[in-house]
Structure 1
Amino acid sequence: MAEQSRTGFPLAPQALPTAGNRSATGFPGMAARPQGTGETSRAAEEDTPRLPPANASGSPLWRPPSASGRKSSGDTWWERLRFEMSDALTSGALSERLVRASTAVEAPITTGRRIVVVGVSGGVGTTTVAALSAKLFGSIRQEPVMAIDATDESGRLLHYAGADKDALLSAAAVKLRSQPVRTLPDVVGSAAACGNQVFALGRPEVPAATNHPIGATEWTDLSAIFSRFVAVTVVDAGASPRSGQTTALLETAHAVIVVAPDTEFGTSRAAAVRAALSASHAGIPVVTVLTSINSPIGRAEDTAGLPFDRHLAAGGPIRLSHLGARTRIAATEIAGSALSAANGR
C-alpha cells in the first residue's frame, strides 16, 4: 500500500535527491518546490519572475512586470514599524496568531474539501478573498489546490490568482466529464498554474457566448472529481447568493464564506444571506468576512475581518510576500476558519 501522508492523501514515490534538486513529496504530480523551508522557500517561488507563456499573445491575463521593478508592499514603512513594535510589546502575540492560523490551514483532511465564497453584492472583495484563500492553502499545505471562478458571467479570479494562461471552466468541464480521469495531470491539464501547487479554472473577463452557467448535475460531477485529486477546492460564486448557479454550487459545499463590506449595509446584508443559507442549506457552516476600505476592522465573535491592504487594492495578481503583516495574519485566519468549518470543527 502506498505510504500515506498525515492528511490522508497518498505520498508521491520518493526519488533520490540529486545535486541542486530535491524531489517533492505530497500529492502525485506535485511540481518540485524550491530548496529551503518556510516563508523563505515560498517567497522564492512566488517572486521568481515568470516568462510570458507561449499563448501570451493577445491574452488579457498576461501583464509584463513593472518597469520600476520595485516591490509594492501592502504596508507602508510606518505600518510595518508599528506592527513590529506592537508584536514586541505583546510578547509576540501577533506572530502567535499567525502560527495558530497556519496550523488550522494545515489541519488533516480525509477527502478534498470544497469551500464556496459568495459576496453580498458586487465589488465587496469576493474574488479577492477566494483567490487569496486559495493561494494561502497552496502556500501552507503540501497538496494541490484548485481555485474556480464559477460566477454567473465573467470574473477576475484567474488574474488575481496569477494564472499563466487562459483556462476556461466550461471547456475543462466538458473534457473532465467526457474522458477518463485517473491522475492529477488529467485534472489540472486544462487548468492554469498559479504557483505553489495552485491551479485555476475561470470565466472569460469578457463574457463569451460559448461560456454557459454551470448546472447542478454538472457541478456535482466536477466537484467529485476535484475532491479525489486536490486537497481544497475554493469556488468564487460571485455576488448572486440566491441565483440558481450559486444554489448548484452550494449543494456540494463543505463550508461557505460570505463576504461583505465593513459597513452598516454590509453587516445587515451578510446577516440576511446567512439567514437565507441557514434556511435552505442548514447543514453548511458559514464564515462571514468583513472587508475594510481604509481603517482597522472591528470584529464580532463569529466574524472575520480583512483589513485594507495596498497590494490587494492595486488589483493585480496577488503575491503573498507583498501582503501587509496584519493582512497576512487576517487572511490566514480566514482560510483556517473556513477549513475548520469544512472539517466540521
Structure 2
Amino acid sequence: MPNGDNWQGDVLRDLRGASGPPAAGPGGPSAPVPPAPPTAEASGAERIPAPASTPQQAPVLRRKPAPPRPRRPSAPDSRAVVDSMLSGTARRPQRGEPVAVRATRAVRRIVSSSAAREVAELTWTAGTLQQPVTTGRQIAVTSIRGGAGKTTVAALLGTAYAHYRQDPVLLVEADPALGSLPLRLGAETLRWTTADLADIVEPQMSLLDVTGYLVQLPENAWLLPGSQGQIGAMLDTSAYERVMVALRRYFGVTVVDCETLPAEVARVALSASQARVLAAPATLDGVTSTYAVLQWMQGLPRHMIDGTVVVLSSTVARPGIDVEAAAEKLRSTGAGVHVLPYDRHLAAGGVLRTELLARPTRLAATRLAAEVFQLSQKRR
C-alpha cells in the first residue's frame, strides 16, 4: 500500500489552491483529509475573492440575504351586518305557508299515492347531492336586475349543499356594492372580504388557516363577504380570479352570489364556473329580459347554455303570468328552468331559516341544488 492517499491530497490541493502536498503523520500515512467546504455554486452563496496577500487562504462564503416576505394587510375591524338601530325593526319571522295549508297538504299526502313518489325523488336528490368531486365545483348565481331573488337562490343552494355534503362548502359574495348574502345567511359580524383575501391566500396554507379569515356558518359551510356594507365598494376581476383559483382546492362546492349582468365580474364568474344559475322574477318583464339573455347565450359555446338553469321566483301568491307556460318558453332555448313557489318566509326577507320554509319550497330548492350540481359534474 503506498504511503499516503495522494489522490485525496491532489483533490484537496485543487479545492484550496495549495501548492504542496498535505502534511503526513510521523512515520505513517497521511492524516485523514477533512471534507472539502461547499462551493459557492452548490450552496447558493455569493463567492468573495480572497485578498491578494493570502493566495492560499480559503475563499470566504457569504450567503445572500433572503428576499423579504410580503407584508400581509392588517386585520380590519369587525363590523355588524345589521345596525343596532335597525335590528329591532324586524318582526318575528313567519312560516312559509299558513297552518291550514300545511294541515291540508299533510292529509293529502297520507291518503294519496304521491308519498311514494316523493320518497323516491328525495332519495335521488340526496344521492346526487352527495356525489364525490375530484376538484371543487364552482356555481355562479346572477340575474338581469336587482330584486330578482339571486341572493335568496344562492343562500338556498349553499344551505342545501352544506346539509347534504360532507366536504366543506363555501359561499362567496361577489356583489360588494349591493350584496345582502351575509344578512340572508344570518352572519352577525364581518371582517375580511373577497378583495382582502386575494392578497392573503398562499398555496401552503391549510384549510384551517383559510377558514380563519371566513365567517363560519351552520353545518359545514363558510362565507366570504364581498364588503363590509360600504356604498361604492368595488371588486375587480383580477382579485376575484385570484381568490377563486386559490380557494377551489379547499372546498367541494362554492356558490358565488354575483353582481347583476352585464357587470364584468359577473361575466367572468359565469365563464369560469362549472354551472350557472340565472334568477328571474315570475313577472312579464322578468321573463322577457331573461329570454333575451338566453338568446344571447345561444351564440356562445354550447356548454354555456347547457350548463345554465333559470329559477323563476314567485314574489306574490298569485303571479301575473302563467308561470308554467313561461317556463316552457324559456326551456326552448336549451336552458333548464325551475320554479320556486311563493313562500311567505322568503318574501319577508331577513335571515333565511330553512325550518320555516314551506314544504314545496324545500323540495324545489333541494331539487334545484341537485340538478345544478349534476350539471357542474359534467364539465371538468
Q: Among residues 164, 188, 194, which one is paired with 1:169 in the alignment?
A: 194
Q: In the TM superposition, what are the counterparts of 1:54-93 in structure 2 within 5 Å?
A: 59-61=80-82, 72-88=94-110, 89-92=112-115, 93=117
1:316 CA drift (Å): 1.5
The amino acid across from 1:172 in the alignment is L
1:249 aligns with 2:280: no
Task: Give, in angstroms, the shift of residue 78 of structure 1.
Answer: 1.7
Structure 2 counterpart of 1:322, which letter?
Answer: L
Task: Name the residue aligned to 2:181.
Answer: 157
* Preserved CA contact (<8 Å) 1:133 1:234: yes
How do 1:222-261 residues align onto structure 2 when only pairs under 5 Å count? 222-240=243-261, 242-261=262-281
Q: Secondary structure at the match of 1:213?
A: coil
From the superposition, tell whether residues 228 and 83 of structure 1 become closer, same or farther in structure 2 (CA, over 3 Å).
Answer: same
- Contact 1:164/1:192 (8 A) holds in 2: no
Alpha-carbon distance in 1 for matches of 2:91, 2:265: 41
Conserved 8 A contact 1:154-1:203: no
Q: Distance in 1 between matches of 2:121 and 2:100?
A: 21
Take 2:221 and 2:139, find their aligned partners in 1: how far apart are those partners?
15
Q: Is structure 2 residue 356 aligned with structure 1 residue 335?
A: no
Deviates more, 1:227-236 or 1:164-173: 164-173
Query: In structure 2, what is the Cα distance between the partners aligned to 1:281 and 1:222?
Result: 25
What corresponds to 1:207 in structure 2? 230
User: Where in structure 2 are the equivalents of 1:1-345 lying within 5 Å?
Assistant: 59-61=80-82, 72-88=94-110, 89-92=112-115, 93-151=117-175, 153-166=177-190, 167-176=192-201, 179-204=202-227, 206-208=229-231, 211-215=233-237, 217-240=238-261, 242-284=262-304, 285-295=307-317, 298=324, 299-300=327-328, 302-344=336-378
Give me the whole-angstrom Cα distance separating, in 1, the residues matched to 2:184 and 2:293. 25
1:249-303 per-position Cα deviation (integer Å, ceiling 9, x unaligned): 1232101001111122222222222232343453231011100122475353631
Counterpart CA distance in 1 for 2:297 and 2:244 is: 20
Asked if the contact 1:151/1:203 (under 8 Å) is kept, the reply is: yes
* Cα 1:181–1:279 shift into 2, 3 Å: farther
Specify every segment of 5 or more residues in structure 2 that has no aligned partner in the other structure, as ranges. Answer: 1-76
115-124 vs 71-80, which deviates more? Answer: 71-80
Q: Distance in 2 between matches of 1:224 and 1:314?
A: 35
Q: Which is further off, 256-265 or 68-77?
A: 68-77
Q: Deviations over 1:89-136 (max 9, x none)?
A: 134033443333232222222111000001121101010000111011
After superposition, what is the alpha-carbon deviation per residue over 1:140-161, rounded to whole angstroms, capped at 9, x for unaligned?
A: 1111111111026231001111
| TM-score normalised by the chain length of structure 1 | 0.74
Q: 1:80 to 1:121 in 2, by over 3 A?
A: same
**Alpha carbons of structure 1 residues 165 and 274: separation in structure 2 relative to 1, 3 Å:** same
Are the aligned partners of 2:340 and 2:361 in contact in 1 as well (CA < 8 Å)?
Answer: yes
Contact 1:274–1:286 under 8 Å retained in 2: no
Deviation at 1:228, TM superposition (A): 0.5
Structure 2 distance, partners of 1:260, 1:341, is: 19
Count how many residue pairs are aligned between Structure 1 and Structure 2: 285
- Kindly provide the CA deviation profile for residues 155-175 of structure 1, in whole angstroms up to 9, marking residues without a partner as x: 100111122421421112221
CA contact (8 A) 1:97 1:329 kept: no
Classify the secondary structure of the residue corresponding to 1:235: strand
TM-score when normalising by structure 2: 0.68
Name the SS for the 2:286 alignment partner: helix
Task: Return the alpha-carbon distance in structure 1 between the equivalents of residues 120 and 97 of structure 2.
Answer: 20
CA distance in 1, matches of 2:96, 2:277: 23
RCO higher in structure (CA 8 A, sep ≥6): 1
Q: Name the aligned partner's letter for residue 185 of structure 1.
A: L
Aligned CA distance change for structure 1 residues 239 and 86 (closer, same or farther; 3 Å): farther
Q: Identify unmatched segments of 5+ residues in structure 1.
A: 1-54
- Provide the C-alpha distance between the structure 2 equivalents of 1:152 and 1:204, rounded to a whole number of angstroms: 5
Structure-1 separation of matches of 2:346 and 2:297: 28
| Change in 2 beyond 3 A, CA 1:278/1:237 | farther
Q: Give the aligned CA root-mean-square deviation in angstroms.
A: 2.8
Q: Deviations over 1:191-216 (max 9, x none)?
A: 1111111111123364356x42231x
